[in-house]
Structure 1
């Protein structure tokens, strides 16, 4: 079994629109459906937004279906000058950036929840253009005031809400994890390009991004080197 976790509500809605499953089943956290890709059984699960939901649903997924590998497909916000809208990040490391340690070493606290992902699981060439890099997660859309901190101190080009939790839980369960996040919008030190439209543009861009990622999913699965 291969599991595909989809985080944000708009991303999940787009996924169901693209895949058009026969039936969605309820679970204690959300919903899921089963599919076949390249004759391999897949479970698609709505992981939910934010680190708490992401951690809980990842553990539930592992305990319930014992997947050989977990994919996380979705969107992320990019940092202006570091990455552009529409670029896809194949994540090789995750880090939580909204931990604020005031009694010890702040960077040591952040490193506690840093996870390196083993991309040797994938054969090259990759089936779509990607940028390999580090992704930060926090329970917020990127704060323009943190753009410089994220790029210069944390050393990332983009950020999301969930990937760090998914990767951390997978690592502790010894389950391979592959994260593909496409930049839906870019944030500068003065603001976010789609922050003031009540998520209208995010919903629209999510549909385009998820359609592209799911369209390439069979090719990514073919590149897996599973034991």
Structure 2
């Protein structure tokens, strides 16, 4: 398979393990970043790829995928931590904008640095008839789990509802390559101003991740059909 219609990037190891459980017939191969498998869904050539956690691996693996398979559509499925009171556990979020909030510029204009890595995703091709109920959001990314002490600031400054580690990097790389990008994240656990429910109980995240990923993967063929109908009409 030289060119894929879509590449689906899965970032965290816990998320990728669910992919392996669901797609048991995948012939697993390797990239510099992790495993991948090629399959067909809805008559489309699809690559499922483990991209790795954090912004560095996310950016590098996204560029690798775009260079190697030249997809018409780049998809990122995964989990996120939700801010208690702003979102519900298990809720599926359709990302319209990403903000990398852990940039700390002290020598110049901090807003200019923040704006540079903020990405608005063009979802005009999706339309209104979506395969599953979702909530359209701005998603924040950083290379750390959400600090409960940051919750009031993020809620006030960005109207934040959820955060993750990778979406900001993947969206930014896709935009620089002019590749349509679809990011769907499910809320695996909640954080409030005093604690994160998964921070002292990893099993909370693991259970939430499995639930979220199975939900996202069950709807993946429908999202692919929707996305590629729009993208296949465009010239190579």
TM-score by length of 1: 0.97
Q: Residue 124 of structure 1 contacts residue 223 of structure 1 at CA under 8 Å; is this kept in 2?
A: no
- Structure 1: 5+ residue stretches without partners: none
- Structure 2: 5+ residue stretches without partners: none
Q: Residue 97 of structure 1 contacts residue 154 of structure 1 at CA under 8 Å; is this kept in 2?
A: no
TM-score by length of 2: 0.93
CA RMSD of aligned residues (A): 1.0
**Any runs of at least 4 consecutive aligned residues in structure 1 with deviations exceeding 4 A, and if so which?**
none
Superposed displacement of residue 118, structure 1: 0.8
1:78 pairs, out of 67, 79, 82, with 82
Mapped pair 1:116 → 2:117 = no
Superposed displacement of residue 28, structure 1: 1.5
Name the SS for the 2:124 alignment partner: helix
Q: Which residue of 1 aligns with 2:25?
A: 21
CA distance in 1, matches of 2:35, 2:192: 35
Mapped pair 1:160 → 2:142 = no
Q: Which range moved further: 213-222 or 101-110?
A: 101-110
Q: Can you list the C-alpha shifts for 1:36-69, whole angstroms capped at 9, x where unaligned?
A: 1101010000010000000000000000000000
The 5 A counterparts of 1:1-227 are 1-197=5-201, 199-224=202-227, 225-226=230-231, 227=234
Q: Which range moved further: 100-109 or 36-45?
A: 100-109
Superposed displacement of residue 16, structure 1: 1.0
Superposed displacement of residue 213, structure 1: 0.4
CA distance in 1, matches of 2:27, 2:16: 14
